[in-house]
Structure 1
Amino acid sequence: MPTTARAEQSNSHHDLPIHESVLLLQTDPERGLGEHEARERETTFGPNALPQTRPTGPLLRLLRQLHHPLIYVLLVAGAVTLLLGEHVDSAVIFGVVFVNMIVGFVQESRAEAALDALRAMVRTEAKVVRDGVSRTVPSERLVPGDLVLVEAGDRVPADLRLVRLSELAADESALTGESEPVVKDEVVLPPATPVADRRNMLHSGTLVTSGSGAGIAVATGAETELGEIHRLVGTAEVLQTPLTRKLAWFSKVLTVVILFLAAITFAIGVVRGESGVEMFTAAVALAVGAIPEGLPAAVTITLAIGVSRMARRRVVIRRLPAVETLGSTTVICSDKTGTLTENQMTVSRVWTPQGGYEITGAGYSARGDIVDSAGEVLRPDTMPSALRWTLLAGASCNDAALHHDADTTTVVGDPTEAAMLVAARKAGLVDVPPRTDTIPFSSQRQYMATLHTPEPTRPNQHGHVVFVKGAVERVLALCGAELGPTGPRPLEQAAALRAAENLASQGLRVLATAVAEDVPAERFSEEALAGSLVFTGLQAMFDPPRPAAASAVRSCREAGIAVKMITGDHAATATAIAGRIDLLDGSADGKVLTGAELAEISEERLPDAVREASVFARVSPEQKLRLVEAMQSRSEVVAMTGDGVNDAPALRQADIGVAMGRGGTEVAKEAGDMVLTDDDFATIEAAVEEGRGVFDNLTKFIVWTLPTNMAEGLVILVAIFVGTALPILPTQILWINMTTAVALGLMLAFEPKERGIMRRPPRDPRRPLLTGGLVARVLLVSALLVGGSWWMFQWELAIGAGLPEARTVALNLFVAVELFYLFSCRSLTRSVWRIGWFSNKWVLGGVTFQIMGQAALTYLPVMQGLFDTAPIGLESWLRILGVAALASVVVGVHKRLFPQVL
């Protein structure tokens, strides 16, 4: 074979006649490749598998978790304290570092599974013809030019140009987002035909739903459409979440401030003539005190509690930062099928020459009624003949089946035919006449016909019954009459076409039905059907919106979150669903963009166009990714939902990827940050609410813990500057930081969500972690702590107390102020009297535990030996409580004067 013939492979054969594809690939459409030639091509093109990148080793991924400014400071502080013999201090510091390292390592390991899931999709068996003999080979062995055989139920192993087929249809929803199975044919298509419309191709990773066929493999491995998505997933940047971005900036600033203060402390002490070793120890004490050691653990635990709460609301979080990201979300991009809709086709309207009818109920449940134009519910014995024959034709001329389990209904066959079965059952038509022959549906024929034995209820009928369903124009062309109230009458084709057009304009899929009675079995043929049928009516169906979708969209809009539908379905279908859930806000003008229109929009204009539109229909995987990037270019925090392989790149690129748990592919689940166990858009609204609560609680913890760390560092700095003994020692600082973080600060993670949380606009992504009002509050409490502890320390020394007693008083003052301040931090804008003292019982438990710890630290001899403390009297405790109460009052006044701190 010439070298040029196999220099490259291409999946763009949809625009070539079959004979040109055969010549280009140097193959045989009947005998396939020779086995020797196939082995040569396998050497040339490689295995039919998605490429694997060299994975990062576990040791490197583990060490990468240490790449953080605050971690650097902690490592240095831990090493110095170890060299100075402060083994307790060193152990605590290294313990915090180790825990954070393990948590990050586990999260990153789980995130790497997305590409593995994509690769697993092509590890199937394939039926190929080689040397004229059909055989089964591993899909990895397929090469361009192979003749591949497929039938219903097969997973397509490569991109195939069809050379022959029989009633072939494929479910390509995972690749294109198209909710309906795509009927295939061999017609040559224009070069610009998008993937979703390439009817003469089968694509790797899709599923054959009916019929059979044979195709030439035109692309394998990374060159397939699935391989292109794999490339997009691999290149899509895994963005930092709003929290991690803000914490990274905050950590860098805090690190610079801590190192600056430590350096000043050391320099001032040396200038004053103090020992360099002692000053270095003091500088380390300042650094350890100023670093919020409990912050990493608090973030992890608060997010984990959010994960638990979301699990109760049918949300599974795969990556912890996704919890708070939802709380900052400004745009939700939702798939249509299965998320905003039920993903269950439903016949909702029936039109017959005798009138129009509505069918209530949704999905594959038989619960529902037939309602006429006057609003009357029809019973089987009062049903007009045309309506009965229409529903019976849809159920009889049908290859689908419904299997009912305890909680679910499984469809075998085409969802459209399943919808017709359900409609007939709602009318009480459970049993259909036995079928004896079939003219199957084909894209050329555009209808299906079945021959049935006479109904037992019609003893005077001697011949068979023919039922037909299919495209409206095609079925009407076969009819010579229509069914009126008294029997067949002349066909009014124009009226039927107007009714069909009206139903289609509402985003409904419309099929026509017809019947012929007393037909001899030997006359059942395509030629005999022409002109012999009686038109009975139209069935119109759609994938109905989920019951809670409209209210969830409205709630998101009230919360300041834009909702956008991004789907591979047709624009009319997407617009109809968007209208039913109020996504278009009453107007479709300028609100809907198709993939073709997106392709014409420049990169500069795209962000504005995306902001104005609410629905994006018939979009490709690359365009989904482009849409997400366009929104992020406007600093939006984007949540992207999806269930198919085609959604994986956008799920990974989005700030938070939301995968569907029931109907989603494993690829989507692995690429997403969270999974909805019920596939319901309304669950996203619940997750947003939980995410906002988590972000609030994290902010409360940071506002609560920073004053202590800042004050501890400043107390050390003031002592060195004045030239007196340290009011608190490094071991005492570690006791304060670790015990209060666990017993007091972490209790804020259990704080209930505040009222009106979903009536607030989302946080501006550009807004800092701490607003100016919160920074002022942190500085205020820090000043109160520094001033109070310094005054108490000096007071105790002035009245004759020893240095250990004075330090014990200062230590307990720090804890007492933190304890009182904790109640204030339960809400950043309202007083504890308004939110309720007992609405968070965890806080009361933590306070009790901390008080017991302080008593043990102060009065137990073993604790006194470890932490250099001493017993103090009642008067000292009263002064401590007085200062703490005063600090609480000052904070309350500040909160009252400046309530808008968020």
Structure 2
Amino acid sequence: MFTFLKSFFSSAAGLRRSGRHFRRSPILEQGDGAAASSAAATDASRRANRRMLDTSRMGLDALFARFGSGRGGLSQSQAEASRERHGANEVDHEKPLSWYLHLWMSYRNPFNLLLTVLASLSWLTDVHMAEPDEQSWTAVVIIGSMVVISTVLRFVQELRSNRAAEALKAMVQNTATVLRSDAQAPVAGDGRRVLGKPLHDSGSHQLEVPLAKLVPGDVVLLSAGDMIPADCRILNAKDLFVAQAALTGESLPVEKFAIQHVETENALELENMAFMGTNVVSGSGSALVVATGANTYFGQLAGRVTQSTRAPTQFQTGINRVSWILIRFMLVMAPVVMLINGLTKGDWLEALLFALAVAVGLTPEMLPMIVTATLAKGALRMSQRKVVVKRLDAIQNLGAMNVLCTDKTGTLTQDRIVLERHTDVYGTSSDDVLAYAYLNSYYQTGLKNLLDVAVLQHAEIERSLDLASKYRKVDEIPFDFSRRRMSVVVNETENGRDHHELICKGALEEMLSACTRLRVGSEVHLLTDARRADIRRVTAELNRDGLRVIAVGVKEMPPTQETYGVADESDLVLVGYIAFLDPPKESTGPALAALKASGIEVKVLTGDVELVTQKVCREVDFDVRKVYLGAEIEAMDDAQLAIAVREANVFARLTPAHKERIVRSLRAQGNTVGFMGDGINDAPALRAADVGISVDSAVDISKEAADIILLEKSLMVLEEGVIEGRKTFCNMLKYLKMTASSNFGNVFSVLVASAFLPFLPMLPIHLLLQNLMYDISQTAIPFDNVDEDLLKKPQQWDPEGLGRFMVFFGPISSIFDIATYALMWYVFQANAPEHQTLFQSGWFVEGLLSQTLIVHMIRTRRIPFLQSRAAWPLMVMTLMVVVAGLVLPFSPLAEYFHLQALPWSYFPWLVGILLSYCVLTQLLKGIWVRRYGWQ
């Protein structure tokens, strides 16, 4: 038997590594799900395609007239009136199920379906009996009660969970920057007046508006990291690249323009249209909202999306593997029980009914409810610790995480960047450099950056600069993560001058590659190798002080040129640097220590230079083992990278592709990887990680890619979330361990009794009633406490370990079941068919109490009740079941259930058996822990 079970669980565990983490598929490449789209969905797609084509070809004046808008956007009153007509800008591509469909989905799981089949077999067997037995009808009622309890509890828990999840997600809102023609200029809390400055000389001002409140006619401003909030007509664009993979599956972003250059009949190929569900990769622009909500191209395809089937997550795959192990075990053992009883007793119909009852006892029908309730409880507890769970299944991944990759800025540091110095190329303070930096930050409209906030705030406080009134913006070359610099071109309007000046700022090495000269005072010199060495020496000193250095360069341009591009960022004159300080958080050191104590290895992945990163790491007591740079990562093949990610814990000067590649390499080595980031450069890595973690202040695309949102950007908050994730996982694992070991012990006891007793050790009704009462005792497991030592290391699904646990601990209860057989047979003389009711009553009580006791024995590796106590809801539930089990044989219901009152002399024996069971189980727990560990 044990050889067979070992091979059985080994084969089942072979599935363990199948499936990983759910990733979104392109909407138009959904395989069989898309192929099954209805004709109505196809028609809707065609209508949406035609409407977008017509909109792209319409003149802007006609388009503005249609929506009563203009380049300055709508007024507040116009927007509110439009919202009344068009409704919220929301696409319910996963609409909440109606209550009856939700109830059906709560019922439709393998265990409930299996119980329904078993109840039907029991009923059919009863119908065809010559003398129908009331016991069979009772069996049907009890099995039905199990199904109803499991279904209703799951339905209620999921309903509460869904409502709570929606409330939590409402705490994290994505916004769009819109123009309002009558809005007052807001003053940001940090003193920055960029949001609120008039644009395009239109008198309009920028406002941040929740995506759901956008309406047709709104003019939105787009920059790197923004999600396209609705279907839009591009008004102007500057190097505007949009990732459309969510709609088309294209891996490369496409460039958008204000003018359509190529004729096409495919709306997704339109160059002057941008669609909801896509996101800006680089560049900037503005666009007119032409369709919102269900009227967008994405909304018209919603029917096709909902008809496609999602791939299972790692968590769902783990639950399914464990479920099928238990089902396969039941499918093997129930026929064996029937065969043995049929051969030894000669009554095959009774043997069938008994085998059906055993099958019911082996079915963990409460598993779906336990999983749902535990996850929901975990999500609510995490929300109290400022952690919002977007996807409940991510809780398990958070608890299983053993490697955390995190950025530096705002996580290790305070995210409170201050401009500390503005110097020339040799480190001497320079107001001219500050003025250039101010103009660049003031006029840039691309990627929103805290560095720009610091520049503007510092310049206004230090010198009350009002340079903007002396200049007119001509053009802009937006930031991207390959160039790592951005430029604005301005025209000085004072003193009758008319010349264009390109002002560029960016990372030092990228700026040096674009500079050929440098300015010291009023003199300009060639940028020789010796001077490059001096520059690197000066900036390295600043880096060692923990300052992040941004270089500033300028270039005189002809006044006749109006359009500029990346090619113009050449032959620059380096004028100096602006250096920023982002001091470490006081909580970072303790948080890193807590994560290390929890078995999580932290790796810092940053685009910043290595000297600043090492300085910050030293200040927070982070032990830097080895540092790799982005250029070195670029040169490595996959095998070399696998070695590098194991031996190093700091990676600097990384691009988004480098971060993603590092995360994938870590996962390929069997790690459960979390990635914490908040920028557009973090989005690929967030999607690649097992669990993506972002913050509510992150760019839209990062929040969309993340599974978990922190309301406070702190590693300490994350560490608390990890602990809650582990508590959730531990409570689910408790139920599986309790159910698996208890069920196996019962079956083993039944096999022994069936082989040697002249009557059934328990009637089918007894097994079913015992199982129902045991299930009721376990409904409080989601609210249970978890031992501190179980929270110190990551938790992983281990189906093979569960099978091993079941085979190891299950027979322990069988030892005492057999002792109870001997007690009833020899001491109380229940050794003939006419005394079988006494025998069955004795084993019913002992079996129920030992099963309930195993809840407390298996929930902890410590001594139960003394070193580790269950939460009060679980204590109350198990106590109620114990009392009910003891009282039932003495109650008026005893005759109905074919039980009888037990002699009082039975109970001292019962106490001895149960105490012996506890002692032996505790001793064997020690052996198990020394060999395998507890989790």
Q: Into which bin does the TM-score normalised by the smaller protein fall?
A: 0.5 to 0.7
The structural deviation recorded for 1:419 is: 0.5
* 1:540 counterpart residue number: 579
What is the count of residue pairs matched by the alignment?
722
Q: Deviations over 1:570-624 (max 9, x none)?
A: x445884476347882422468766x658xx46x776566656654866557x87
Q: 1:561 maps to what in 2?
A: 600
- Pairwise CA distance, 1:674: 3.1
Structure 2 distance, partners of 1:291, 1:163, is: 62
Q: Deviations over 1:62-97 (max 9, x none)?
A: 877777654443232132234442342232232255
Q: Does 1:284 align with 2:356?
A: yes
Query: Structure 2 residue aligned with 1:783, among 806, 814, 819?
Result: 814
Q: Is the 8 A contact 1:435 1:450 kept in 2?
A: no
Partner of 2:742: 708
Q: Of 701, 714, 722, which aligns to 1:680?
A: 714
**Using a 3 Å threshold, how does the CA distance of structure 1 residues 804 and 111 change in structure 2: closer, same or farther?**
same
Displacement after TM superposition at 1:287 (Å) = 0.8
Alpha-carbon separation, structure 2, partners of 1:590 and 1:234: 45
What is the deviation of 1:285? 1.2
CA contact (8 A) 1:639 1:656 kept: yes
Tell me what 2:374 maps to. 302
- Matched ranges for 1:54-453 at <5 A: 69-83=110-124, 84-86=136-138, 87-96=140-149, 98-99=151-152, 102=155, 238-241=311-314, 244-272=316-344, 274-334=346-406, 345-351=417-423, 399=442, 415-423=450-458, 429=462, 436-440=469-473, 443=476
8 Å CA contact 2:111, 2:365 repeated in 1: no
User: Where does residue 802 of structure 2 map in the other structure?
Assistant: 770
Query: Closer, same or farther in 2 for the Cα pair 1:234/1:477, shift >3 Å?
Result: farther
Identity among equivalent pairs (%): 20
2:899 is matched by which residue type in structure 1?
T
Structure 2 contact 630–653 (Cα < 8 Å) conserved: no
Return the letter of the residue paired with 2:626. S
**Structure 1 residue 798, shift from structure 2 partner:** 0.3
Runs of at least 5 residues in structure 2 that lack an aligned partner in the other structure: 1-52, 64-88, 125-135, 182-217, 247-254, 258-270, 478-486, 496-500, 506-510, 555-573
Give secondary structure in 2 for the equivalent of 1:711.
Answer: helix
Question: CA offsets, 1:780-837, max 9 Å, x none?
Answer: 4232343233234435650699544433322221233234444433422x3347x735
Uncovered stretches (5+) of structure 1, i.e. residues with no partner: 1-24, 36-48, 128-147, 177-183, 187-199, 357-385, 402-410, 454-466, 483-488, 515-534
In structure 1, the partner of 2:761 is 727
Instruction: Report deviation, 1:123.
Output: 14
Q: Cα offset for 1:768?
A: 3.0
Q: Secondary structure at the match of 1:889?
A: helix
SS at match of 1:770: helix
Change (3 A) 1:865 1:75: same
Tell me the equivalent position of 2:751: 717
Contact 1:507 1:574 in 2 (8 A): no
Q: Deviations over 1:739-796 (max 9, x none)?
A: 33443573475123423733x4x35666734274x34542342323432332344356
Query: What's the TM-score once normalised by structure 2's chain length?
Result: 0.60
Equivalent residue number for residue 848 of structure 1: 879
Quote how far apart the aligned CAs of 1:277 are. Answer: 2.4
**For residue 276 of structure 1, what is the amino acid of its counterpart?**
W
Per the alignment, residue 528 of structure 1 pairs with: none
1:793-804 to 2 correspondence within 5 Å?
793-795=824-826, 797-798=828-829, 803-804=836-837
1:752 maps to 786
SS of the aligned residue for 1:798 comes to coil
Q: Hey, what's the Cα distance between the residues in 2 that align with 1:478 and 1:589?
A: 30
The amino acid that maps onto 1:836 is: Q
Residue 613 of structure 2 corresponds to residue 580 of structure 1: no
Which moved further from structure 2: 246-255 or 437-446?
437-446
The answer to whether the 8 A contact 1:579-1:586 is kept is no
Report the CA distance shift for 1:768/1:693 in structure 2 as closer, same or farther (over 3 A): farther
TM value normalised by structure 1:
0.62
| Distance of 1:52 and 1:175 partners within structure 2 | 20
Say whether residues 1:812 and 2:845 are aligned partners. Answer: yes
Q: Say whether 1:831 aligns with 2:871.
A: no
Q: Which residue of 1 aligns with 2:26?
A: none
Distance change >3 Å, CA 266–CA 682, structure 1 → 2: same
Q: Residues of 1 paired with 2:786 and 2:404: CA distance?
A: 25
Asked if the contact 1:656/1:673 (under 8 Å) is kept, the reply is: yes
Partner SS, residue 305 of structure 1: helix
Rounded to whole Å, the distance in 2 between the matches of 1:236 and 1:333 is 31
Per-residue deviation, 1:888: 0.8
Given the alignment of the two structures, is residue 636 of structure 1 paired with residue 671 of structure 2, yes or no?
yes
**Alpha-carbon spacing, 1:63–1:867, altered in 2? closer, same or farther (3 Å):** same
Alpha-carbon deviation of 1:413? 7.5
Instruction: Output the CA distance in 1 between the equivalents of 2:474 and 2:123.
Output: 80
Are the counterparts in 2 of residues 289 and 730 from structure 1 also a CA contact under 8 Å? no
* Pairing 1:879–2:935 present: no
Q: Taking structure 1 as reference, are residues 431 and 125 closer, same or farther at Cα in structure 2, changes over 3 Å only? A: closer
- Closer, same or farther: CA 423–441 of 1 in aligned 2, 3 Å: farther
- The Cα shift of 1:884 comes to 0.1
Asked whether 1:696 is paired with 2:730, we answer: yes
CA deviation string 1:78-137 (max 9, x = no partner) = 322344423422322322553587589879999999xx99xx99999999xxxxxxxxxx
Aligned mate of 1:508, from 523, 527, 548:
548
State the 1:893 CA deviation: 2.0
Verify: 1:896 aligned to 2:926, yes or no. yes
User: Residues 241 and 817 of structure 1: is their aligned pair in 2 closer, same or farther, counting only changes over 3 Å?
Assistant: same
Q: Distance in 1 between matches of 2:822 and 2:353?
A: 24
Q: Is the 8 A contact 1:750 1:840 kept in 2?
A: yes
Q: 1:306 to 1:174 in 2, by over 3 A?
A: farther
Question: Take 1:419 and 1:122, find their aligned partners in 2: how far apart are those partners?
Answer: 23
Distance 1:201 1:538 in 2: 38
Q: Distance in 1 between matches of 2:318 and 2:357?
A: 26
CA shift in 2, pair 1:795/1:704, >3 Å: farther
Partners of 1:163 and 1:321 in 2: CA distance: 41
**Are the structure 2 counterparts of residues 692 and 314 from structure 1 closer, same or farther at C-alpha, using a change threshold of 3 Å?**
same
Q: Distance between the aligned counterparts of 2:323 and 2:160, measured in 1?
A: 20
Paired residue type of 2:627: A
Distance 1:866 1:670 in 2: 58
SS of residue in 1 equivalent to 2:580? strand
Give the aligned residue type for 1:770: L
Within 2, Cα distance between the matches of 1:639 and 1:253? 29
The RMSD of aligned alpha carbons is 6.3
Aligned to 2:371, the other structure's residue is in SS state helix
- Contact 1:652 1:671 (8 Å CA) reproduced: yes
Would the aligned equivalents of 1:152 and 1:209 in 2 still touch at CA under 8 Å? Answer: no
Shift of 1:320: 3.5
Of residues 650, 658, 671 in structure 1, which corresponds to 2:693?
Answer: 658
Contact 1:333 1:566 in 2 (8 A): yes
In structure 2, give the amino acid aligned to 1:77: L
